[in-house]
Structure 1
Amino acid sequence: MSRDPSELFAQPAPDLRGRLTPDRPLADLTWLRVGGPADWLYQPADEEDLRRFLAALDPSVPVFPMGVGSNLIVRDGGLPGVVIRLGRGFNAIRVEGDAVTAGAAALDAHVARTAAEAGRDLTFLRTIPGSIGGALRMNAGCYGSYVADHAVTVRLVHRDGSLETRDARDIGFAYRQTDLPADSIVTEVTFRADPGEPAALEARMADQLAKRDASQPTRDRSAGSTFRNPAGFSSTGREDDTHELKAWKVIDQAGMRGATRGGAQMSRMHSNFMINTGGASAADLEALGEEVRKKVFETQGIELQWEIMRVGRPAPDTAP
Structure 2
Amino acid sequence: MMALPTTPHLLQRLPSLVGRVQANAALAAFTWFRVGGAAEVLVRPADADDLATLLQDLPMDAPLTVIGAASNLIVRDGGITGVVVRLARGFGDVVTERDGVVAGAAALDANVAEHAAAAGLAGLEFLSGIPGSVGGAVAMNAGAYGGDVAGCLDWVEIVTSAGIARLAAPALHFAYRHASLPPGAVVVRARFHAQPGDPRMIASRMADIRISREATQPVRARTGGSTFRNPPDMKAWELIDASGCRGLRRGGAQVSEKHCNFLLNTGGATSADLEGLGEEVRRRVHAASGVTLEWEIKRIGIPAGRPEVVA
TM over 0.5: yes
Residue aligned with 1:28, SS: helix
Report what 2:159 is aligned to: 157
Where does the alignment leave 5 or more consecutive residues of structure 1 unmatched? 232-242
CA contact (8 A) 2:243 2:284 kept: yes
Question: Structure 1 pair 4/310, CA: closer, same or farther in 2 (3 Å)?
Answer: closer
Residue aligned with 1:251, SS: helix
Report what 1:27 is aligned to: 28
Report what 1:270 is aligned to: 259
Residue aligned with 2:165, SS: strand
Offset, 1:6:
5.6
CA contact (8 A) 1:53 1:161 kept: no
Residue aligned with 2:244, SS: coil
Residue aligned with 1:225, SS: coil
Q: How does 1:235-254 map to 2 (within 5 A)?
A: 243=233, 245-254=234-243
Report what 1:138 is aligned to: 140
Report what 2:91 is aligned to: 90
Report what 2:207 is aligned to: 206
Alignment partners' CA distance in 2, 1:69 and 1:116: 25
CA contact (8 A) 1:247 1:304 kept: yes
CA contact (8 A) 1:44 1:86 kept: yes
Aligned length: 303
CA distances 1:35-67 after superposition (whole Å, capped 9, x unpaired) = 100001000111111111221211221111100
Where does the alignment leave 5 or more consecutive residues of structure 2 unmatched? none
Offset, 1:256:
0.5
Q: Aligned pair 1:257/2:246, yes or no?
A: yes
Query: Please, what is the CA RMSD of the aligned residues?
Result: 1.9
Report what 1:63 is aligned to: 64
Q: TM-score, normalised by structure 1?
A: 0.91
Q: How does 1:68-217 map to 2 (within 5 A)?
A: 68-121=69-122, 122-158=124-160, 160-181=161-182, 183-217=184-218
Alignment partners' CA distance in 2, 1:179 and 1:49: 24
- What residue identity is the alignment partner of 1:157? V
CA contact (8 A) 2:62 2:82 kept: yes
CA contact (8 A) 2:100 2:195 kept: no
Report what 2:10 is aligned to: 7
Alignment partners' CA distance in 2, 1:5 and 1:19: 20
Alignment partners' CA distance in 2, 1:80 and 1:133: 22
Report what 1:301 is aligned to: 290
CA contact (8 A) 1:50 1:161 kept: no
Question: Structure 1 pair 153/5, CA: closer, same or farther in 2 (3 Å)?
Answer: farther
Question: Structure 1 pair 51/161, CA: closer, same or farther in 2 (3 Å)?
Answer: farther
- What residue identity is the alignment partner of 1:285? L
Alignment partners' CA distance in 2, 1:279 and 1:209: 28
Residue aligned with 1:202, SS: helix
Q: How does 1:281-292 map to 2 (within 5 A)?
A: 281-292=270-281
Report what 1:50 is aligned to: 51
CA contact (8 A) 2:15 2:58 kept: no
Report what 1:240 is aligned to: none
Report what 1:235 is aligned to: none
CA contact (8 A) 1:226 1:306 kept: yes
Alignment partners' CA distance in 2, 1:6 and 1:54: 17
CA contact (8 A) 1:63 1:84 kept: yes
